[in-house]
């Protein structure tokens, strides 16, 4: 649309009137503005000062409201540090199957005959079997009777597991004496007691005399007993000679064995960490003295004192014909004790386990009872025993006689036999270069192939070297073996190396 214009005269008159009005009004407006500026100047200055102070304060305070600056972007992770896109192939030993190829007897014989040689006097016998089938892969005089040394402990392990059961525990009890002033510490076969508190996660020291003393004090308090107590010990569970006459005096003096009692501290050692040297000659009294000391400490706050010295008990107290038990602690399981016995080759513990196997069968817990119990359990297992000779059950005596075949048979029974209770012994076999009596062996070039693979019970006397155990060969076949050297030159290093090299050869053997 076209805009409409006004007449020129009217436009000029309007402009003139506007200028006149502005001219007349301007002086007064300026004056008023000046007065306003002068009136509000102090307030403006104060606002300017506050603004000047507020800016740096805001710089300091603002991060508390808005948070720190975002971190710089992390550098890219190198490819080698990234999680794998897929898992690598599984490595290690495959599960054993009967499809693994068995070694050929002639190949095994060729391997072992060149290695199993004596260093000086004497000779070796040996037997190797396929564990799954029982097929004999190597036989050098395997049925000949030999002194087996500590390989005898394999027989004792089997007998204890069968007669007692892997989960069985031995009890050490405190019962009331013939009058209220006496307490009787009663041995039940636990010779791994500690003087301190019970240690449930340990085999040695699983049951502690300090814990037993505390429980005894609690029971006496509940009965209202105060005053002085006498401590007696009851070690009547074992019978017959405490010290086997078949053991050499030198071995006893060196601490390889000691008189046997049904309770002891640290497997009849003064210190559990020191496994050589003299042992207590009366471990029952030694344990009772330690218990009396703990009872004295625990009973002080309860008004109980303990007379000096300990004696042997002839007649524990009874109520209506029953023994009054005050407290009890229990040992590690038989399976755990068998494991410790095999791994450390503990003669004392082996002898005690043999006697406890006899007691479980209702026989006297004596040396004769122990040897008879072990023989009976082997026979029940199907191992031929008529030619065997037992002088003890630890292997310390030179009068023991057994064959490599019998030892291989018992290892096979443990590894693959039908009596699954015997599997509990597997953990006790020393591992080459890693544990127990094999921890410092299999470290040179001639035996290193067996390190970590050979698992075997050792045996050593002056003129005897024995090694019986099991190994998985290079093809994944489980083999059991026994090598026994008799009449050897004492101290000749090559004899131990001979049995270790033979076992290592089995570990590396394809032998096909």
Q: Which of 118, 150, 198, 331 is catalytic?
A: 150
Nearest CA among 308, 131, 292, 324 for reference residue 212: 292
Rounded to whole angstroms, how far apart are CA atoms 425 and 12?
A: 128
What end-to-end distance do the CA atoms of the chain give, in Å? 115
Q: Which of 194, 211, 267, 345 is catalytic?
A: 345
Rounded to whole angstroms, how far apart are CA atoms 76 and 262?
A: 69
Per the annotation, the verdict on 36 as an active-site residue is no
Token readout for 476 is 């994944």
- Please tell me the total number of residues recorded for the chain in this structure: 512
Token readout for 188 is 């039940």
Per the annotation, the verdict on 345 as an active-site residue is yes
SS3 assignment, position 468: strand
Residue 256 DSSP class: S
Residue 180 DSSP class: T
Token readout for 395 is 């292997």
Token readout for 380 is 């029940």
Per the annotation, the verdict on 88 as an active-site residue is no
Q: What is the dihedral of CA 254, 260, 265, 269, to 10 degrees?
A: 0
Rounded to whole angstroms, how far apart are CA atoms 381 and 402?
A: 16
Rounded to whole angstroms, how far apart are CA atoms 470 and 411?
A: 7
Nearest CA among 343, 344, 370 for reference residue 358: 370
* Backbone phi, psi, residue 356, to 5°: -70, -30
Token readout for 483 is 């090598």
CA 139 to chain centre: 36
For strand 455-461 and strand 464-472, is the pairing parallel, antiparallel, or unpaired? antiparallel
Rounded to whole angstroms, how far apart are CA atoms 377 and 390?
A: 13
- Residue 392 and residue 367 in contact, taking contact as beta carbons nearer than 8 Å: yes
For strand 318-319 and strand 322-323, is the pairing parallel, antiparallel, or unpaired? antiparallel
Catalytic site positions:
150, 153, 345
């Amino acid at each position: 649309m076209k805009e409409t214009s006004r007449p020129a005269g009217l436009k000029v008159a309007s402009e003139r009137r506007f200028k006149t009005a502005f001219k007349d009004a301007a002086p007064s407006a300026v004056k008023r503005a000046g007065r306003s500026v002068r009136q509000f100047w102090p307030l403006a200055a104060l606002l300017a000062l506050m603004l000047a102070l507020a800016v740096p304060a805001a710089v300091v305070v603002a991060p508390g409201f808005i948070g720190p600056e975002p971190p710089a972007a992390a550098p890219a992770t190198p490819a080698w540090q990234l999680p794998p896109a897929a898992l690598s192939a599984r490595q290690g030993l495959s599960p054993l199957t009967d499809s693994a190829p068995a070694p050929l007897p002639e190949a095994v014989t060729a391997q072992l005959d060149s290695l199993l040689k004596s260093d000086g006097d004497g000779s070796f016998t040996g037997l190797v079997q396929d564990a799954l089938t029982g097929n004999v892969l190597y036989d050098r005089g395997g049925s000949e009777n030999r002194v087996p040394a500590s390989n005898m402990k394999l027989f004792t392990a089997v007998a204890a597991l069968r007669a007692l059961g892997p989960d069985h525990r031995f009890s050490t009890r405190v019962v009331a004496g013939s009058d209220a002033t006496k307490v009787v510490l009663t041995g039940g076969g636990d010779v791994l007691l500690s003087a301190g508190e019970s240690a449930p996660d340990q085999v040695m020291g699983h049951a502690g005399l300090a814990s037993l003393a505390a429980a005894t004090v609690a029971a006496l308090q509940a009965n209202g007993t105060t005053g002085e107590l006498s401590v007696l010990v009851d070690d009547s569970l074992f019978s017959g000679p405490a010290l086997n006459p078949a053991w050499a005096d030198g071995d006893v003096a060196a601490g390889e064995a000691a008189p046997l009692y049904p309770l002891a501290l640290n497997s009849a050692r003064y210190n559990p960490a020191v496994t050589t040297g003299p042992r207590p000659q009366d471990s029952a009294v030694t344990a009772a003295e330690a218990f009396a000391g703990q009872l004295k400490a625990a009973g002080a706050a309860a008004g109980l004192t303990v007379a000096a010295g300990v004696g042997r008990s002839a007649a524990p107290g009874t109520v209506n014909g029953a023994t009054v038990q005050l407290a009890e602690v229990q040992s590690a399981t038989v399976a755990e004790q068998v494991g410790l016995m095999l791994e450390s080759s503990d003669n004392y513990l082996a002898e005690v386990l043999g006697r406890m196997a006899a007691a479980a069968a209702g026989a006297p817990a004596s040396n004769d009872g122990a040897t008879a119990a072990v023989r009976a359990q082997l026979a029940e297992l199907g191992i031929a025993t008529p030619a065997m000779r037992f002088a003890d059950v630890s292997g310390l005596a030179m009068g023991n006689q057994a064959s490599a075949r019998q030892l291989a048979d018992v290892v096979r029974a443990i590894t693959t036999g039908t009596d699954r209770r015997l599997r509990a012994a597997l953990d006790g076999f020393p591992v080459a270069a890693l544990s127990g009596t094999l921890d410092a062996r299999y470290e040179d070039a001639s035996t290193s192939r067996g390190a970590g693979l050979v698992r075997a019970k050792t045996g050593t006397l002056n003129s005897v070297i024995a090694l019986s155990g099991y190994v998985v060969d290079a093809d994944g076949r489980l083999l059991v073996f026994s090598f026994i050297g008799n009449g050897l030159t004492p101290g000749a290093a090559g004899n131990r190396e001979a049995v270790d090299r033979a076992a290592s050869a089995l570990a590396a053997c394809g032998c096909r």
